Structure 1
Amino acid sequence: MKDINLTLAAVGGLILIVGLLSRPIDRSWLSSPLLAFLLGVMLSPYGFALLDPAQWGDPLHLLEETARLTLGISLMGIALRLPARYPLQHWRPLAVLLVIGMPAMCLISSLFSAWTLGLPLVMALLVGASICPTDPVIASSIVTGGVAKDNLPAGFRHLLSAESGANDGLAYPLVLLPVLLMAHPPATAWLEWIVKTWLWEVLGSVLIGALIGWISGRALEWADRKGWLDQPSFLALSLALTILVLGVGKLLGTDSVLAVFAAGIAFDQEVGGQERGEADNVQEAVNLFFTLPVFVLFGLIAPWEKWQALGWGGVLLALLILLLRRLPVVLALRRWLPPVSSRGLSWMMGWFGPIGVSALFYATLASGRTGSDTPWAVVSLVVLASIIAHGVTAAPFAKRYGAKRDGARHSRE
């Protein structure tokens, strides 16, 4: 009972402080995820030893389920934050990033993992697949807030949000392929990957999520016309939809994370005006409550000994991933990405591909299914590097881009 109360007090206090100081934090080199991680480290056995998650059960399974819920909340927030028709009107740049960009990032990350740590090819592919998705949780902290809105164009923010929402779920089959290759003969693994993973777990999740989202949106409009909808139930609807889809998707054996994003997009097509704005606001508020606890938990169970065992190879891998996993790919594809085709925006888009909760989710899932600690040790180290690097640079880089843009505009005038 003491652990529960201490956890509630610590997380509640952190959220309160972040809420009261949201503007200064948004404009500083600190980020909310980094502060939450540091709080977790302070409370952990490596800090003041006030909390020990090992006594609560399997820490990795706890993190996996917490990350899944956090991703669901964040993906619904992204879907509601995007303009209603954005995925339909801008499907071409999204397709380029998902069909070409994401597999390329997976391959680059895998090659670096094999080279720096000497991992077997299949294990390196598993690590690369876990790292490749752009994290929607940290991306939300980069593209929202006053600094981002004042300095970064809407096209950049929308494309990064849409990519992080879609590729988070679409990384699932990339992660499952090496897992299946480790567990089955190649022919069996490839057959199961194509039939079960792609046709049911991926395509099925999109169809199921979109159907639930569409029905929920229609029901919302109908209840509003009937006058049956009061404010509290109205504000809670998007959160309820998130939890519903996560549960149904998991029960049916589909990619429940991708199903949530599909549900959010479909729901967004049916609601509008006040409904859409209210749902967006409550989802962003709830997002704050679920984003910080998962990083506190990450700090509590951070595998310091495993990171130390990786040695300088782990440090080199983290640096290579941050610098070369995404930037060269985006620069090579920028002519097919109209919202970020300019030189400055393409560099921004290439740098801001954070690795966070989605990678933690896939790393814990992969370690659980393979029985190996390697995915968790390697991926979690890269996540820590991303939290620091992207959190520290988000506000300064955005301000720098905004200043250059304003200076160029004034010189033309």
Structure 2
Amino acid sequence: MPTLSLINFNIVCATLGGFISVFGLVSYLFKERFYLSEALISLLAGVVFSPHAANFIRPQEYALGSEQNLEEITLYFTRLVLGVQLVLAGVQLPKRYLQIEWKSLSLLLGPGMAAMWMCSSLVIWAMVPNFPFLHALIVGACITPTDPVLSNSIVKGKFADKNVPRPLQRIIVAESGANDGLGYPFLFFGLYLLKYIGMGGEGYSGGAGKAMGLWFYETWVYVVILSVVYGIAVGWLSRELLHWAEEKHYVDRESFLVFAIALALFIVGTCGLIGTDDLLACFVAGNVFTQDDWFRLETMDDSLQPTIDMLLNLAVFMWFGAVCPWSSFLNNDVIPLYRLIFLGILILLVRRMPVIFAMHKCIHQIDHIYQAAFVGFFGPIGVGAIFYLSVTREFLHEITVNGEVREDAQKVSEAVDVIVWFLVICSIVVHGLSIPLVKAGYHLPRTISHALSTSTMVEHDAVPIANVHHTHSTATRSSTPTTNRNRKRGNNARDPPEPTVFQIGRTVIRTASSQEQIGTGHAEEPARPVTLIVREEDEETGPESDSPTPPVPTQA
């Protein structure tokens, strides 16, 4: 007897597949007409399907009711998405990009990231009550990297093609890809100090000296430098092997297209096995893999990589909408809601924009102040911040005394969970709505003004337009105003009538005689009125050519 099988697997497959199908039907409308990012739409869908609403997506049941299991699922999910995104980010950059643009990237990844870290930490320290500066450094490090997933919404699509110069798009992609992997030194600087000097180093000996030693050789040497070396080696070896297989005709087209994604999975897995930085290794490997630009040019016209990219984005932001601790924003012991909202506003304004304004003259991709404002504002906080949030809480749970998490570590763990999640939601919403709101604010006053002026013109010019259509039958009547004026002046009745001009919206209608228009009429030939329709050029796109288009005569 057939029965309903309402298990989680069936529900999740139906929910995810149904949402992606429905979104696909209107995706062009949302992304290219309304300029809404898929991250914002997926986040809202995740909230709708979460236990807070429809209860189709049940994260706690997948994690068997354990908060630690849920955090591990989120950590591994973000690792997977970021690994694929960073390899693809490295692949889409042109030939030898990191070597050519090393000066601009050094500014953004060196003093730029350090300044962003300090600005964020100072704002958090000022806004969170009774929060030590060392704790603020840990929270600020989680939101320092810009997110490569959300950055794609401003460097891809019709808006980017029209408004963002190609060099600016590439420097944004390169920065967001590299700084995700370089967030480890900033994060573990505060974590090691907290472990060895927090609460007098209770349970751990060695003090600040041991903390800095671990930070140097574990974070910089083993995590960062080893990741760079490993990424270079894997990227170079993969490129040579793929070249060899392609020359021998051993690889088919499908395997060729999916090779970069398989490379990302391999690096994420192997870096996880040896405990190094898989994000940085993925980005470096992607750049080395396409060092000669061969793979990028070969796959430029194929849509497999963007398709996989889109599917991962939709899935991860739906997951964020479902697992986000919404209730903790209102009920927590860390920061009240009004301070949390003000903190979100300050972070979006202060975290990145002053740094870019201070350095933009040294970055040749930023030509003027408007581009500096654009780059400064669009530094989104997203998947990378949730990844570092999970890494932070995992490390803090290991700082124990007598089998219990130490008090200061527990306080930082609660604070980083509330603050980082709230800032990620703020960034997704604000950066997801910025472009459509700016476009609407630019076009709405002009649209309203144009509609009102058109309506007024139509009402005012309704009678003269009717006269234009009857000009041929009334031109030679002595009762018309034009003929009477001509007789008063002593002109011949066959003289052409004076031209009349009407305008409706952007259309100018001008009546004139055929003799005036053509210029070759004879005195004996009766004047035949002609209606000339001249259209003004479009205000946004301008004229199509430099030479004016002659009016087209239309006999009335």
TM-score normalised by L of structure 2:
0.70
Give the letter aligned to residue 79 of structure 1.
G
Deviation per residue, 1:235-258 (Å, 9 max, x gap): 111111000011111111110111
**Aligned residue number for residue 7 of structure 1:** 12
SS at match of 1:340: coil
**Aligned residue number for residue 119 of structure 2:** 108
**Aligned residue number for residue 364 of structure 1:** 390
The answer to whether the aligner puts 1:146 opposite 2:152 as a matched pair is no
The answer to whether the aligner puts 1:301 opposite 2:308 as a matched pair is no
Give the letter aligned to residue 288 of structure 1.
M
Equivalent-residue separation in structure 2 for 1:347 and 1:409 (angstroms): 26
**Aligned residue number for residue 184 of structure 2:** 172
Contact 1:134 1:354 (C-alpha < 8 Å) held by counterparts = yes
238-247 or 368-377: bigger deviation:
368-377
Give the letter aligned to residue 24 of structure 1.
L
Q: CA 1:43 to 1:315, structure 2 compared with 1: closer, same or farther past 3 Å?
A: same
Deviation per residue, 1:256-310 (Å, 9 max, x gap): 1110001100101145167642597432221111111111111111112221133
210-219 or 51-60: bigger deviation:
51-60
1:163 pairs, out of 175, 180, 186, with 175
The answer to whether the aligner puts 1:377 opposite 2:403 as a matched pair is no
Tell which has more relative contact order, 1 or 2 (C-alpha 8 A, sep 6+).
1
1:54 pairs, out of 57, 60, 63, with 60
SS at match of 1:355: coil
Equivalent-residue separation in structure 2 for 1:159 and 1:397 (angstroms): 23
After TM superposition, give the deviation of residue 400 of structure 1 in Å. Answer: 9.2
The answer to whether the aligner puts 1:16 opposite 2:21 as a matched pair is yes
Equivalent-residue separation in structure 2 for 1:121 and 1:203 (angstroms): 28
Equivalent-residue separation in structure 1 for 2:22 and 2:291 (angstroms): 35
**Aligned residue number for residue 93 of structure 1:** 104
After TM superposition, give the deviation of residue 62 of structure 1 in Å. Answer: 1.0
**Aligned residue number for residue 229 of structure 1:** 251
After TM superposition, give the deviation of residue 407 of structure 1 in Å. Answer: 7.5
Q: CA 1:254 to 1:373, structure 2 compared with 1: closer, same or farther past 3 Å?
A: same
Contact 2:45 2:318 (C-alpha < 8 Å) held by counterparts = yes
After TM superposition, give the deviation of residue 21 of structure 1 in Å. Answer: 2.7
After TM superposition, give the deviation of residue 6 of structure 1 in Å. Answer: 1.8
Count of residues paired in the alignment: 407
Q: CA 1:345 to 1:274, structure 2 compared with 1: closer, same or farther past 3 Å?
A: closer
The answer to whether the aligner puts 1:322 opposite 2:348 as a matched pair is yes
SS at match of 1:269: coil
The structure with the greater share of residues assigned to helix is 1
Deviating beyond 6 angstroms after TM superposition, the runs of 4 or more aligned structure 1 residues are 398-401, 406-410
1:394 pairs, out of 435, 450, 456, with 435
After TM superposition, give the deviation of residue 354 of structure 1 in Å. Answer: 0.5
Contact 2:290 2:296 (C-alpha < 8 Å) held by counterparts = no
Give the letter aligned to residue 179 of structure 2.
N
Q: Which has the larger radius of gyration?
A: 2
Give the letter aligned to residue 345 of structure 1.
Q
Show structure 2 runs of 5+ residues with no match. Answer: 1-5, 64-68, 197-206, 398-412, 443-538, 547-556
Contact 1:331 1:350 (C-alpha < 8 Å) held by counterparts = yes
SS at match of 1:373: helix
**Aligned residue number for residue 40 of structure 2:** 34
After TM superposition, give the deviation of residue 10 of structure 1 in Å. Answer: 2.1
Q: CA RMSD in A?
A: 2.2
Deviation per residue, 1:25-65 (Å, 9 max, x gap): 22315321111111111122211223321122222211111
SS at match of 1:228: coil
TM-score normalised by L of structure 1:
0.93
Equivalent-residue separation in structure 2 for 1:392 and 1:63 (angstroms): 25
Equivalent-residue separation in structure 2 for 1:276 and 1:181 (angstroms): 48
Show structure 1 runs of 5+ residues with no match. Answer: none
